[in-house]
Structure 1
Amino acid sequence: METVGGADEQKNSGLAELRRVSREAHEAVDEAFSRFGLADPQSYGDFLTAHARVLGAAEAYLSRHAASLPVWRPRAELLKDDLRQMGLAVPAVQADCFPESDGTAMGVLYVLEGSRLGGRVLSARVAEGLPRAYLSAFHQKGEWPVFLERLGQYLDESDAGRRQAVMEGAIATFALFRKNAERQD
């Protein structure tokens, strides 16, 4: 699950703070998922299952906050289809993972949109013949910079409480992904 810094980070101090505050949680997720071999069908299935437990809940949560969020494209159905093509059950999702707050929703969306960047790298590691619709749901041209601009503006224009909610939403989302990766033993 990778995110990328750059010029947007320099313009938006809120983005720089979000990356700094969530870096440790982000690195823990990367470490937890690094053990999955995406060329091995069993390991790849475990990887997708761990993602499915979180993604469905996170997207359902984001749907309740859609009016206050930048436009985003869900991927849970793509992930379910990948699991079904592999003959795997779609796991139950975790319910009520996040407090109801537009700021928290922005933090959750930050992690999910950032994971599309990681998906671009990871999809190339999936063995030929295995489904990869979920990991191949990359950003369309310009989507990531537009999202970062909107998030940065939200952070820079928010009071301390709303900024904190974004930080906590991102950290909580990273923690859910890590927990579910570790659960797949």
Structure 2
Amino acid sequence: MNAHHAIPESSTAMPGAAGGGVRARRNGARFHLRDVTRGEHDDTEAAFAPFDLSKPAGYRAFLQAHNGALAALEGPIEGRGWPEYASRRGLLEADLADLGDAERPSAMEPPALSGDAHVWGAQYVLEGSRLGGQILARQVAKGSPTRYLSGNDEAGTDDMRPWQEFCAALEDEARRHGPQWLADVEDGARATFRLFREAAKIFSGTTI
């Protein structure tokens, strides 16, 4: 089974955020971002399609690609954007260590995330992938470590709260700052999708 990146608003991963009516939720910033970045999302899923998570080499390459992208993102987003954001890179590196991979990720060019809104865009992608990862974890061979995809030291967690809390905070910020801020969020999300596609391209040749 091939891996999809499973980032925000995939049909299997993203129930609506809590609160408000259906029409109000679908008119919010979160759904706007889903719509305007749909092409980026789909292209990124296609880039990760060759990674077969049920096979050790494919799963390891998938984690290496994510590690490379996260290494490039950590500096620009650290201490910025959503105050509750927490990196999962430690969990990812623990999984790679269990798989016998202790190499540092390939150096990648950090995306241009100059403004705080750009960071929110990057975090939109990362928080969506956190929830989508819980679905991808089911594709991984039994006995393989899945801390990163599960989002916890214990495999099999299924907690919507971080995504719902992020979406609620995103809505508050969008109402407070207005359309230009949201446009910058879009740019940050697009840059993050591109970064993950580049990482997939680097490591897709190591999946066999």
1-structure distance, mates of 2:107, 2:119: 17
1:57 corresponds in structure 2 to 72
One-letter amino acid of the structure 2 residue matched with residue 90 of structure 1: R
Q: 2:129 aligns with which of 102, 115, 119?
A: 115
Q: Give the superposed CA RMSD.
A: 2.0
Q: Say yes or no: does 1:135 pair with 2:149.
A: yes
Q: What pairs with 1:9-20 in structure 2 (closer than 5 Å)?
A: 10-11=24-25, 12-20=27-35
> Aligned in 2, Cα 1:13/1:141: closer, same or farther, shift over 3 Å?
closer
2:179 corresponds in structure 1 to 160
Q: What pairs with 1:39-50 in structure 2 (closer than 5 Å)?
A: 39-50=54-65
2-structure distance, mates of 1:7, 1:97: 28
Please give the secondary structure, in 2, of the residue aligned with 1:134. helix
One-letter amino acid of the structure 1 residue matched with residue 54 of structure 2: A
Q: 1:87 aligns with which of 100, 103, 115?
A: 100
1-structure distance, mates of 2:162, 2:56: 31
One-letter amino acid of the structure 1 residue matched with residue 74 of structure 2: E
1:2 corresponds in structure 2 to 7
Q: CA deviation at 1:5?
A: 5.4
One-letter amino acid of the structure 2 residue matched with residue 144 of structure 1: W
1-structure distance, mates of 2:160, 2:171: 19
Is 2:118–2:184's contact at 8 Å kept on the other side of the alignment? yes
Q: 1:29 aligns with which of 19, 41, 44?
A: 44
1-structure distance, mates of 2:37, 2:117: 15
2-structure distance, mates of 1:130, 1:7: 31
One-letter amino acid of the structure 2 residue matched with residue 79 of structure 1: L
2-structure distance, mates of 1:141, 1:115: 12
1:96 corresponds in structure 2 to 110
- Structure having the higher helix fraction is 1
Please give the secondary structure, in 1, of the residue aligned with 2:147. coil
User: How many residue pairs get matched?
Assistant: 183
The TM-score with structure 1 as length reference comes to: 0.89
1-structure distance, mates of 2:74, 2:192: 11
Offset from partner CA, 1:126-156 (integer Å, 9 cap, x none) = 1122221111106745222111111122123
2-structure distance, mates of 1:92, 1:183: 9
Offset from partner CA, 1:24-64 (integer Å, 9 cap, x none) = 10111111112211111111111011100111222332214
Offset from partner CA, 1:161-181 (integer Å, 9 cap, x none) = 321110000111111111111
Q: 2:196 aligns with which of 169, 177, 180?
A: 177
Comparing 12-21 and 100-109, the one that deviates more: 12-21
2-structure distance, mates of 1:51, 1:96: 13
- Consecutive unaligned residues in structure 2, runs of 5 or more: 1-5, 9-13, 152-156
Is 2:29–2:174's contact at 8 Å kept on the other side of the alignment? yes
Q: CA deviation at 1:7?
A: 5.4
